[in-house]
Structure 1
């Protein structure tokens, strides 16, 4: 059954059997979980991402990525990673990034002789950048659940996102060099500038969003609305956005938003109930009694989140595990923003780990491969992501330096 039904159904049964509350607490807590001003940013960022997809943005970003590094060994594979990073700064969704970039670059890579499994795995993992590079839906959810600034979470995701992008570029190059995947023909300076000029409006969107937030012009939620308006304007400037496409984007965004919000409501109900039972406090006491120390706690938290990411959708995992793990993290002296980035990176890895890796399913549909084949091909990439996770966990300043710099400047 869908994860939202499983969570809400099981929690409803538990509430009814406990006798602590009346059953009316179920709709009340689902409503309370959704009754948050910052959460309004989610449907707007989802809509902005859909508008960018149908507005000709992905094609222009791909042309710019190919012009920039397409001539190198494995240029198309590397362009898939770089373009996914650019698109991630627009969409905020891993699956949307895989679909938008993969629908164009996967056929191009296959046509130039790239292995089908490597192609699918490379695009799946590149799409995971969609939940790390700001603006990101999971970063917003964590900010709401942990009661921290969404703007700080956005800034904290920048350097970890760049680190993961660089590691995936290196991985794509090494594999391509070993398999002798030739690059595209090198373009001249004029062609590179033309590709950049045609994509500049798309590249400016994250600058406007983050710049507006930290310039005090608008809140993160208002920034999401600005992103929608900007996406519409860019789509019409590129002459790719028709009234029909606009209606389709609104419809698709409504469905996607409803799915996400149902999961958030169900997870909020579950989080409320385990808090009533005192589970977070009991777990924190048990963890403290083990005398693991901060290193032991971080390792254990990573293992828990990696396993959870294999089975639970990111939105649900955040709302379920933040009330449990965050109090323990702060008890060990961890910064909530740093712990949030650790959590989101874990759940980004969950997007490419079977059996419920959403990005893998999207790539499987694009490449017509079985999940078994893609799951095997993605294993080396998961190894790279685990190294990145270790670095993000061990180096707090990788996440905290940029928020602290902006805070000091403010």
Structure 2
């Protein structure tokens, strides 16, 4: 009865358009009331407990650092360098799109930040060069999913908190899969470019590479500080976020002198709003997952799955399908917070490393950002590029193919994720 109330009320509230965070909180509260064995105040205690985690302090700093980079000229410098580096290939700006996302991934750790910041620049540049809007948006949407896989990554931080896994190891585990995503997307772009006879945007120039690298050098030091500092144990993920913010402030105020006080205040307000939304979702999902645990749903689901089949490959396929379907309908952070306590015990019982499982989970949910009806990246790109949502969704479908292929490789070849963490840790 309690579980029926929990899930039916959640689905009903989501269908009615209630924000996910409030839907999670209200459905959990109704379940607690129906259960009648716990005081209602336990909901507040569990919500606060879900947010009371030191690694979560990194979220506002990474969000703020990404906002600073988008608004102080750092993003444009990265795009110019990527253009000089790979823009000479056939279908050049498509490759530039992916390359810029890889570089930006080492700074923001959020697909929506990539789509909203770099996306507007990339789509505008591609359309001015004669690329059709669908191709430009499809490439931009697909490449933005690289951000949460290559460290730093907000979804991976949240998974690490929920799973009790090392965030440093998770960051290291995402590097190779992220680069594989980039290579797969570039292969798809090359095929498109040949099929549609896209021209080379410009000739390769060593002097252009040198000039743009010099302009972007200080900007490119940001991922070096973040990733290098974490992987080599200089500081934690939270400290890396603070260092990234301080460095972005230094670039914006002292070096580039493009950050005004008015802009600083606006970015601070934007960061507070974004962080508040994320933390409210985490709080709501924490109480929701706690209700699932107290009602023994996690144990029952684990036993059911293992009773259905104990074949590791089949279980991984089933979990992948579950994550894919959930990713189509639920916001990433909420999905991670709810599903980690449910699916992780199954993975561990089969001998799957939690670090490997975390990368698989996040990659799967990132693909969900490109699929309707939720498709957050599609909505953001539609808004910043003025391309209809339906066009964005249709144009992105072909670029799901290379991402799914990488997901399959990462899922069934654990060493692609575990080799680097084992080497460094």
Q: Which deviations, in whole Å up to 9, do the C-alpha atoms of 1:119-143 show, x marking residues without a partner? A: 1111111111121111000010010
Which structure 1 residue ranges, 5 or more long, are not aligned? none
Counterpart in the other structure of 1:282: 300
Query: In structure 2, which of residues 115, 126, 137 is the aligned counterpart of residue 98 of structure 1?
Result: 115
- CA–CA separation in structure 2 for the residues paired with 1:248 and 1:368: 23
Residues 106 and 227, structure 2, Cα contact 8 Å, conserved in 1: no
Q: State the Cα distance separating 1:179 from its structure 2 match.
A: 1.1
**Which of 347, 352, 364 in structure 1 is aligned with 2:365?**
347
Runs of 4+ in 1 over 4 A off after TM superposition: none
Unaligned stretches of 5+ residues in structure 2: 1-17
Q: Which segment drifts farther, 38-47 or 100-109?
A: 100-109
Does the 8 A contact of 1:82 with 1:165 survive in 2? yes
Whole-angstrom distance in 2 between the partners of 1:341 and 1:283: 22
Aligned to 2:6: none
- Tell me the distance in 2 between the aligned counterparts of 1:117 and 1:61: 23
Report whether the alignment pairs 1:356 with 2:353: no
Match of 1:148 among 165, 180, 184: 165
How many angstroms apart in 1 are the aligned matches of 2:315 and 2:422? 25
Match of residue 211 from structure 2:
194
Q: Residue 152 of structure 1: CA displacement? A: 0.6
How far the C-alpha of 1:108 sits from its partner, in A, is 1.6
Match status 1:301 vs 2:319: yes
Q: Which stretch shows the higher mean deviation, 359-368 or 395-404?
A: 359-368
Q: Corresponding residue for 2:260?
A: 242
Secondary structure of the 1:90 match is coil
Query: How many angstroms apart in 2 are the aligned matches of 1:223 and 1:371?
Result: 36
The aligned residue for residue 50 of structure 1 is 67
Taking structure 1 as reference, are residues 183 and 366 closer, same or farther at Cα in structure 2, changes over 3 Å only?
farther
Pairing 1:329–2:333 present = no
Task: Give the C-alpha shift of residue 314 in structure 1.
Answer: 0.7
**Distance in 2 of aligned mates of 1:218 and 1:384:** 34
Alignment of 1:9-408 (within 5 A): 9-236=26-253, 237-407=255-425
Contact 1:151-1:210 at 8 Å conserved across structures: no
8 Å contact 2:176–2:417 — kept in the other structure? yes
The alpha-carbon deviation at position 373 of structure 1 amounts to 2.1
Cα distance between partner residues in 2 of 1:47 and 1:153 = 22
- Following the alignment from structure 2 to structure 1, what is the Cα–Cα distance between the partners of residues 36 and 208? 70
Instruction: Give the paired residue count.
Output: 407
Q: What is the TM-score with the length of structure 1 in the denominator?
A: 0.97
> Is the 8 Å Cα contact of residues 67 and 186 (structure 1) preserved in structure 2?
no
State whether residues 327 and 364 of structure 2, in contact with CA within 8 Å, keep that contact through their aligned partners in structure 1: yes
Instruction: Report Cα offsets for 1:22-42 as digits up to 9, x if no partner.
Output: 100111111000011111011
Deviation at 1:2, TM superposition (A): 0.6
* Secondary structure in structure 2 of the residue aligned to 1:262: helix
Question: Is 1:106–1:366's contact at 8 Å kept on the other side of the alignment?
Answer: no
Q: Secondary structure at 1:23's aligned position in 2? A: coil
Q: Is the 8 A contact 1:270 1:320 kept in 2?
A: yes
Displacement of 1:187 after TM fit? 4.4
